[in-house]
């Protein structure tokens, strides 16, 4: 039985093109980019080429890109680093209730340590932040706003451009966790009005453990990882050249195929949504019906246990998720669905099906068939 992988929001398969670009920097003798010989020059050249590629993909300048180990490090660095370095501008920070734990928990820890005052904006039933709520929450000492591009559990897009405009008018730093959206929708730091932005390679068919942080020119920021002078003193540690090269290649490839993939994934999503809603009673689509990523669909099934549903799907060769890989195995209900007001005392199973470049129409049809029978069995 062929297995079907529908957990692309958790991580994606490395593309062959990214792998091919990385291989020369993984096998054979490699130089440390900071050394002073020909091996080092080759590594340095590859790193700077990757930086240029990433900058080009998101409308930034080369000097504004810092390579990291991924989305979690990027979010920790951009939030901590910018809040600390801009202390004199204020201590009030605004975020949303549906952010990734690497944003929310970082800010909660900083709040607990007394470093910041935090306002967490509510979301509507679709998981969207209201710009009017943000407007009201802004204070004279607000230093930073952090709102994600697209939600990793339900796929809902946030009104980031409007938020960026508002922040710019008020002279407030704007951080965007673009990890889930990058490579799946057009991304331009100027259009977004973002001062700080996070991406991670493994969410768009690049390697795991490689990410990039965008820091707008002129933004004060202190580093998270202290040590040598790498990344212009912004991130110490010997650079992951292969990772940076793989990230840049994967992002470039993803953008080249974005328009056609968007249409294809949109069609597959609607095949899933229509199929599930028409064949399975007592279930609802979660997330925004239109303002959503093309590849993520998520549902709530009433009177079903999430663990049992995922286990039975897995036994039938279907890899899905209850929403977020980060909370799997714990019995804590999703903070996202909770913030959306969808979990009030009901027994129901969240299910996230996230598609990617390697998902085919046949996969969707088999999932529809298996899911219908499995939910019926669990209820019966
Ligand atoms: C996956 C994810 C992260 C974390 O990225 P890692 O590279 O796995 O650390 C952060 N934010 C969002 C929205 C994500 O989907």
Cα 35 to middle of ligand 1, angstroms: 32
The total domain count for the chain is: 2
Q: Would you say residue 326 has pLDDT above 50?
A: no
On the CB side of 202, CA atoms within 13 Å amount to: 14
Q: What is the pLDDT of residue 1?
A: 73
Rounded CA gap, 297 and 273, in Å? 7
Domain boundary among 231, 256, 281: 256
From atom 4 of ligand 1, which residue's Cα is the shortest distance away?
71
pLDDT category of residue 328 using cuts at 50, 70 and 90: very low
Q: Would you say residue 24 has pLDDT above 50?
A: yes
Nearest CA to 214 among 230, 193, 245, 242? 193
Average pLDDT, the chain: 95
Helix/strand/coil (H/E/C) assignment for every residue in the chain? CCCEECECCCCCCCCHHHHHHHHHHCCCCCCCCCCCCHHHHHHHHHHHHHHHHHHHHHCCCHHHEEEECCHHHHHHHHHHHHHHHCHHHCCEEEEECCCCHHHHHHHHHHHHCCCCEEEEECCCCCCCCCHHHHHHHCCCCEEEEECCCECCCCCEECCHHHHHHHHHHHCCEEEEECCCCECCECCCHHHHCCCEEEEEHHHCCCCCCCEEEEECCCCCCCCCCCCCCHHHHCCCCCCCHHHHHHHHHHHHHHHHCHHHHHHHHHHHHHHHHHHHHHHCCCEEEECCCCCECCCEEEEEEECCCHHHHHHHHHHCCEECECCCHHHCCCCCCCHHHHHCCCCCCCCEEEEEEECCCCCCHHHHHHHHHHHHHHHHHHHC
Mutate to test the pocket of ligand 1, among 10, 71, 287 (most ligand atoms within 8 A of CB): 71
CATH of the domain at 208: 3.40.640.10
Domain that holds residue 264: 4-12+258-379
Q: Which of 57, 167, 283, 326 is catalytic?
A: 326
Q: Would you say residue 325 has pLDDT above 70?
A: no
From atom 5 of ligand 1, which residue's Cα is the shortest distance away?
71
Question: Which amino acids bring their CB within 6 angstroms of ligand 1?
Answer: 70-72, 75, 100, 102, 148, 152, 177, 179-180, 200, 202-203, 211
**Residue 218 sits in the same domain as residue 110:** yes
CATH of the domain at 328: 3.90.1150.10
- pLDDT tens for 140-177 read 999 999 999 999 999 999 999 999 999 999 999 999 99
Domain boundary among 256, 271, 298: 256
**Residue 197 sits in the same domain as residue 345:** no
Mutate to test the pocket of ligand 1, among 9, 12, 67, 70 (most ligand atoms within 8 A of CB): 70
**Residue 52 sits in the same domain as residue 130:** yes
**Residue 239 sits in the same domain as residue 269:** no
Cα 327 to middle of ligand 1, angstroms: 13
**Residue 207 sits in the same domain as residue 340:** no
Cα 25 to middle of ligand 1, angstroms: 25
Q: Would you say residue 327 has pLDDT above 90?
A: no
**Residue 301 sits in the same domain as residue 338:** yes
Domain boundary among 256, 272, 292: 256
**Residue 207 sits in the same domain as residue 322:** no
Q: Would you say residue 258 has pLDDT above 70?
A: yes
**Residue 188 sits in the same domain as residue 280:** no
Q: What is the pLDDT of residue 122?
A: 98
**Residue 110 sits in the same domain as residue 226:** yes
Cα 103 to middle of ligand 1, angstroms: 9
Query: Is 326 among the residues known to form the active site?
Result: yes
Q: Can you say whether the dihedral through the CA atoms of 131, 76, 63, 257 is positive or negative? A: negative
- pLDDT tens for 330-362 read 567 899 999 999 987 778 899 999 999 999 999
Please give the model's pTM, rounded to 2 decimal places: 0.97
- pLDDT tens for 276-309 read 999 999 999 999 999 999 999 999 999 999 999 9
**Residue 308 sits in the same domain as residue 248:** no
**Cα 232 vs. chain centroid, distance in angstroms?**
25
**Residue 135 sits in the same domain as residue 279:** no
- pLDDT tens for 63-107 read 999 999 999 999 999 999 999 999 999 999 999 999 999 999 999
Q: Would you say residue 380 has pLDDT above 90?
A: no
Mutate to test the pocket of ligand 1, among 179, 180, 295 (most ligand atoms within 8 A of CB): 179
Q: What is the pLDDT of residue 331?
A: 61
pLDDT category of residue 324 using cuts at 50, 70 and 90: low
Rounded CA gap, 113 and 287, in Å? 33
**Residue 74 sits in the same domain as residue 163:** yes
């Amino acid at each position: 039985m062929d297995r079907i992988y529908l957990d692309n929001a958790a991580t994606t398969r490395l593309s062959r093109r990214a792998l091919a670009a990385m291989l020369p920097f993984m096998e054979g003798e490699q130089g440390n980019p900071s050394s002073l010989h020909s091996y080092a020059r080759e590594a340095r050249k590859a790193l700077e080429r990757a930086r240029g590629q990433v900058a080009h993909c998101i409308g930034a300048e080369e000097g504004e890109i810092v390579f990291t180990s991924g989305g979690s490090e990027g979010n920790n660095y951009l939030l901590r680093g910018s809040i600390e370095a801009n202390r004199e501008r204020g201590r009030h920070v605004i975020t949303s209730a549906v952010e990734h734990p690497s944003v929310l928990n970082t800010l909660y820890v900083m709040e607990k340590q007394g470093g910041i005052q935090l306002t967490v904006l509510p979301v509507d039933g679709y998981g969207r932040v209201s710009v009017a709520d943000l407007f009201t929450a802004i204070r004279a000492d607000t230093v930073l706003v952090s709102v994600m591009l697209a939600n990793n559990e339900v796929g809902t897009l946030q009104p980031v451009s409007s938020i960026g405009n508002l922040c710019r008018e008020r002279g407030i730093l704007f951080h965007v966790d673009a990890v889930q959206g990058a490579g799946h929708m057009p991304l331009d730091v100027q259009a977004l009005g973002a001062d700080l932005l996070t991406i991670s390679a493994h969410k768009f068919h690049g390697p795991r453990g490689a990410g990039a942080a965008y820091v707008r020119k002129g933004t004060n920021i202190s580093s998270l990882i202290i040590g040598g002078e790498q990344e212009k003193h912004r991130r110490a540690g010997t650079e992951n050249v292969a990772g940076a090269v793989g990230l840049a290649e994967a992002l470039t490839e993803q953008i080249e195929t974005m328009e056609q993939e968007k249409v294809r994934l949109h069609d597959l999503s609607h095949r899933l949504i229509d199929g599930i809603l028409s064949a399975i009673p007592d279930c609802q689509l979660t997330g925004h019906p239109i303002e959503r990523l093309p590849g993520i669909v998520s549902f709530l099934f009433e009177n079903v246990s999430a663990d049992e549903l995922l286990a039975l799907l897995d036994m039938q060769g279907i890899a899905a998720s209850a929403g977020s890989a980060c909370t799997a195995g714990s019995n804590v209900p999703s903070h996202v669905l909770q913030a959306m007001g969808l979990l009030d005392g009901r027994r129901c199973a969240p299910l996230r099906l996230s598609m990617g470049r390697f998902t085919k129409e046949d996969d969707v049809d088999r999932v529809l068939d298996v899911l219908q029978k499995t939910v019926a069995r669990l209820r019966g």
